[in-house]
Amino acid sequence: MRLRRFIVLLSLCALAACSKPAEPWQLTDVSGHLPDLDFSLVDDGGAPVTGQSFAGKTTLVYFGYTHCPDVCPETMARLMQVLQRVGADADRTRIVFVSVDPARDTPALLRSYVRAFDDRHAVGLTGTERAIESVAHRYRIAYQMEKRDPNGEYEVTHSSAVYIFDAAGHARLLATDHDSIDAIANDLKRVIHAKDA
CATH code of the domain containing 123? 3.40.30.10
Whether 82 is covered by a domain: the verdict is yes
The dihedrals phi and psi of 162, each to the nearest 5 degrees, come to -115, 125
Helix (H) or strand (E) holding 103: none
Total residue count of the chain as it appears in this document? 197
- Please check whether residue 143 is in contact with residue 160, taking contact to mean a CB–CB distance below 8 angstroms: no
First vs last C-alpha separation in the chain: 44
Whether 155 is covered by a domain: the verdict is yes
Give helix 107-117 / helix 71-86 axis angle, nearest 10°. 50
Q: What does DSSP assign to residue 106?
A: -
Q: Could you tell me which of 32, 62, 35, 26 has the C-alpha nearest to residue 161?
A: 62
pLDDT given at position 7: 40
pLDDT given at position 101: 96
Strands (DSSP E) found in 31-92? 40-43, 48-50, 58-64
If one counts the domains in the chain, the total is 1
pLDDT along the chain (197 residues), means of 10: 41 43 87 96 97 97 96 96 96 98 96 96 97 95 90 89 97 96 97 76
Whether 4 is covered by a domain: the verdict is no
Whether 36 is covered by a domain: the verdict is yes
Whether 150 is covered by a domain: the verdict is yes
pLDDT given at position 21: 53
Q: Identify the domain containing residue 148 by its residue range.
A: 26-192
